[in-house]
Structure 1
């Protein structure tokens, strides 16, 4: 059980980068971008393809980020220049990316007909290279020796992976926080709040939307590249339902931590992604559920994340209303208002 939860935390931290991308479009830009389901696979496919062809994993990951940025910009162009509905723009790009991703993965073969899966079992990834460096330092043995002397079971051998994904995600989170406070970031936030108002200040809202979508899908593709290297494979079906996972992470995090500041909101998104993966792992441990119920579990988690906060807020409003009514009645009777 501990190992399963440990792996869920690792995956949750990686998926948090994708959730930050979803947050940028759905919350900041107010743009329902369904490109996510395709750009996630684009990142995974690009990174896996380049690693198999012999490129360094870091270079492959950077290429995945660029590919995701281009995909997001294309969605923005369809909406701003093609005057296509935002939802439809994302759907069209998502459909197009399905074929494009097959082509990208097909570049690892002698022909470019396309393939749906790239295994990375015998390839070096960011995580294997980091873990090899970590192991050479002897940190694993020292840590487990210390824990054994304290009567604590040794940690999983991949705990170094957890360390590196935490560092990567924290850096990305801080960059997003910084960007949203820059002049361009503030303009993107204003575009999401009131496009007509920001246009009256001579700002080019089309460029801001394209840039916002590009950055969002770059983060999504980055997450996809890391997941492919973590899971040791890239598959055409990796991105199915990814937008729902991203939304679930955003909603769960906001329901728990609130949205008073940018720092607090992005932290909520990151923690929400981790909580989602933990809930998901626990649900799969239930005897009468199996892997075929994955999408059902996801839907139930999202429904609960949406409904429970509304019920809590409604009860708070009812209590507040009852308290005000009691105070008014007491005042009419000549008493003192309740504290």
Structure 2
């Protein structure tokens, strides 16, 4: 694998680390299976790209994209907690609706950002090549988001949100308004996903209505893969595992596609994803019996 391909894989892995953190919030913290991310990711890209081409400051456009994602997450949560629609079905309904909304926002299937000023434009003034400077900038952003999320989940509000996901009945018995925390958690989750979509569009130079296809699978692959290689009992370990899982996943995909011996091509991406997710889900189950045997032998 060339250096360019390696750094490119790390760049995309860091972008999708934000998606993984959002998926971690919904799937692990709130225990809310959320497919909205397949719609909120392109929503962030669509809002950001549409605003940038009209002359809006790219930083404000990126913020607006994150807020739009938060709104999408709140709609899904509202359908669940207020209208009592099954959480999985509520997220599917929102995802389907967002496809048409994204087309409305862009006015066409895709919007090009080539030649436009983006949040990454200041990197062009550095002495480093763009393919080196961009992963460094994204790494700094991801670390900041991770630390902020760690702080939030260990705050009083974050602990109440975690309690809502673990045992909603007990949380309600303790006076926690679980509906409010589900709404807030889903908003934060999809805001992170939409932020990733906005940054992805700016780094790749275009926003497309089909960007969201398979995003939920990539996010789950990062979360499950990270959990397979790290102990995630502590919050800071869990968020770190999401980031590491996302990067390792993209590196594994890049390695598979760049290995001539395997004969894989770009159209095999979904196949590679399915195999990697399967391995990530099976690996913990294979390791546990081995650990039990090792512990039993050491005790004797």
TM interval, shorter chain, is over 0.9
Alpha-carbon separation, structure 1, partners of 2:136 and 2:11: 9
1:283 corresponds to which residue? 256
Residue 315 (str. 1) matches residue 300 (str. 2) = no
User: 3-state SS of the aligned residue for 1:118?
Assistant: strand
3-state SS in 1 of match to 2:71: helix
Question: How big is each residue's C-alpha offset from its partner over 1:193-250, in whole Å with a ceiling of 9 and x where there is no partner?
Answer: 0000000112111111010000000000000000000110111111111011001101
Distance in 2 (CA, whole Å) between partners of 1:258 and 1:45 is 37
Partner residue, 1:249: 222
Task: Give the match's secondary structure for 2:182.
Answer: helix
Cross-structure match for 2:112 = 119
Quote the residue 2:142 is aligned against. 169
After TM superposition, give the deviation of residue 255 of structure 1 in Å: 1.4
Distance 1:214 1:91 in 2: 16
Match of 2:243 among 259, 270, 279: 270
From 293, 310, 317, give the equivalent of 2:268: 293
Matched, 1:3 2:13: no
The equivalent residue for 1:53 is 54
CA contact (8 A) 2:124 2:130 kept: no
Match for 1:186 among 159, 183, 190?
A: 159
1:85 is aligned to 2:78: no
**What secondary structure is seen at the aligned counterpart in 2 of 1:30?**
coil
What SS does structure 2 have at the residue aligned with 1:234?
A: strand
Please tell me the root mean square deviation across aligned C-alpha atoms, in Å: 1.2
Look up the match of 1:337: none
- The Cα of 1:133 is off from its aligned counterpart by 3.5
Deviation (angstroms), 1:322? 5.3
- Which runs of 5 or more structure 2 residues have no equivalent in the other structure? none
User: Is residue 2:158 matched to residue 1:158?
Assistant: no
Instruction: Tell me which residue corresponds to 1:145.
Output: none
Distance 1:187 1:160 in 2: 39
Aligned length, in residue pairs: 297
TM-score by length of 2: 0.96
Please give the residue correspondences for 1:66-81 in structure 2 after superposition, counting only pairs within 5 Å: 66-81=67-82
1:234 to 207, 224, 249: 207
Q: Which moved more, 1:312-321 or 1:62-71?
A: 312-321
User: Residue 32 of structure 1 aligns with which residue?
Assistant: 33
Return the offset for 1:163: 1.9
CA contact (8 A) 2:43 2:65 kept: yes
Give, in angstroms, the shift of residue 309 of structure 1: 1.8
1:21 aligned onto 2:58: no
